[in-house]
Amino acid sequence: MTSTALDSLVDGTAMLAALAAGDVSAEELTRAHLDRIAGPGAAVNALVAVDADGAVAAARALDADRAAGRPLGPLAGLPITVKDSVDALGLPSSHGRALDRRVATADAPAVRRLREAGCVVLGKTNVPVWLASMHSENELFGATLNPWDPTRSSGGSSGGSSAAVAAGLGVADLGSDLSGSLRVPAAWCGLFGHRPSNGAVSKLGNLPWPDGGLLEPMVSAIGPFARSAADTAAFSEVLFGAEGIEAVGWQLRLPPPRVTSLTGLRVGVWLTDPVAPVDPEVATAIRGFADALAGAGAHVAELADPPVGGADDLALYLRLQSAEIVHGFDADDLAAADDRYHQSVWAALRDLEAQRAATARWAEVFTGVDVVLCPAVSRVATTYTSAMTAPETVVVDGREVPIDSVCDWARLSSLGRLPATVVPLGPGRVSGLPVGAQLLGPYLEDRTPLAVACLAEQAGLVAFTRPPI
């Protein structure tokens, strides 16, 4: 299979159709992706480990099952990559530092579900140290580049994942998201993505939490990147469900989407917050999308009184974030940590109660709207320094701010544990780089923002654009 032929299959949905029609085999798809990883795709430095032999063997087994008429999973034959911090049996896992790198003895539940659905795992993708940067670079593997501009970040902490999917090195990947680690890379690389409601997808088997840990994170989530809304919805459906000891008695019954058409869809637009500035380029693109939704029959209005926002809520989320991170610390890490991590342990229960209160306030908002449209990140992709490291500050709306603050929109919108579907809005008018937005849905109504993204895609309002590199 040639690179040109692979390019004609823009997403997993098209590849599944070609597989079903017999136009291509799983092995051909897998080999074509491996060739791209080893060839032109190497330039973005997204992959940190490749399992070519294992991937080809898995693809051949799927082809044999198809030929024999045996049952196949809903994603059978699709080659994917996996974020380095997420365990995949037999492959190394890390959070960007050699000290903790190890070979996984089991699949994380999310990876196991994707394999059971028929996905072929090609390898692992790059992350920053401790998954704690908007730039995916580390001393082990170097810097991952944005396929749109090699001087810029592909995001973090799932920047290797987003670069791989945008560059066509895999059909999809997983992004873990504590403070925008899925949504920022998706926006900066022009991808679709879904950050699920907390608890809808198991995040067990993810570094930097302890190897073999049994606690599900209370603040972060894990979900898919893809090049279409249809793919994102299909991968999400495979990932949803209870895992671990809870799965003995618990079942996840997500309700159907609230809407089946853009006509009558109720959209709240949230574009301003006193502590989270937005670049005009991003705001203009989001307002353009809101206008397009209105033109398609949606009822669009400003979110007059957002239930979260401002310095107090941002500080609350930062404490929740710190409380989750500290669980992965060893004694040396804890000794070296600053006071906010130590303080977060004592305040954790109080803050979790406040997080639940935020979920309840959002529930009131969603009695009047079906989705809330807001920024996924405050600006387009930032540049690396000349040393290919993350800069300390960047400019947002004419102001120089700490780089970590660009993901404050992701933090604020996560306070209610809401599902968030990222949609690409095309290249910005000023930078020519991808701009992304997120569609927030009611807690545990993940299928609603996913459905809105699919409807917008079908109407031609959002779409993946192939990077120029």
Phi-psi region of 338 (alpha: psi -120 to 50; beta: other; left: phi over 0): beta
Concatenated DSSP letters for 85-135?
TB--TTSEE-SS-GGG-EE-SS--HHHHHHHHTT-EEEEEE---GGG--SS
The rounded distance, in Å, linking the Cα atoms of 228 and 230 is 5
- Please report, for the chain, the start and end positions of each structural domain, with discontinuous segments joined by +: 3-458
The rounded distance, in Å, linking the Cα atoms of 392 and 401 is 9
Which sign does the torsion angle of CA 145, 148, 152, 155 carry? negative
pLDDT number for residue 451: 99
Residue in 153, 218, 203, 162 with CA at minimum distance from that of residue 422:
162
CA of 318: how far to CAs of 236, 321, 324, 414, in Å? 27, 5, 10, 11
| 3-state secondary structure at position 166 | helix
The rounded distance, in Å, linking the Cα atoms of 229 and 454 is 5
Q: pLDDT digits over 82-128, tens only?
A: 999 999 999 999 999 998 899 999 999 999 999 999 999 999 999 99
Contact criterion met (CB below 8 Å) for 83 and 94: no
Residue with the two structure tokens 């049952």? 71
- Selected from 3.90.1300.10, 3.40.50.970, 3.90.550.10, 1.10.3720.10, the CATH number assigned to the domain covering 3-458 reads 3.90.1300.10
Q: Which residues contact 17 (CB under 8 A, 6 or more apart)?
A: none
Contact criterion met (CB below 8 Å) for 410 and 180: yes
Residue in 384, 427, 426 with CA at minimum distance from that of residue 403:
384
Q: In what helix (H) or strand (E) does residue 395 lie, and over which residues does it extend?
A: strand 393-396
| 3-state secondary structure at position 143 | strand
pLDDT number for residue 334: 59
178 is written with which tokens? 């504590």
Which sign does the torsion angle of CA 361, 365, 371, 375 carry? negative
Per-10-residue mean pLDDT for the chain, 469 residues long? 88 98 98 97 98 98 98 98 98 93 97 98 97 96 98 98 98 96 98 98 92 89 98 98 93 97 98 97 98 98 96 94 76 63 63 94 98 98 97 97 97 97 98 98 98 98 93
Counting Cα atoms < 13 Å in the Cβ hemisphere of 211 gives: 14
Catalytic center residues: 83, 157, 181
The rounded distance, in Å, linking the Cα atoms of 369 and 364 is 9
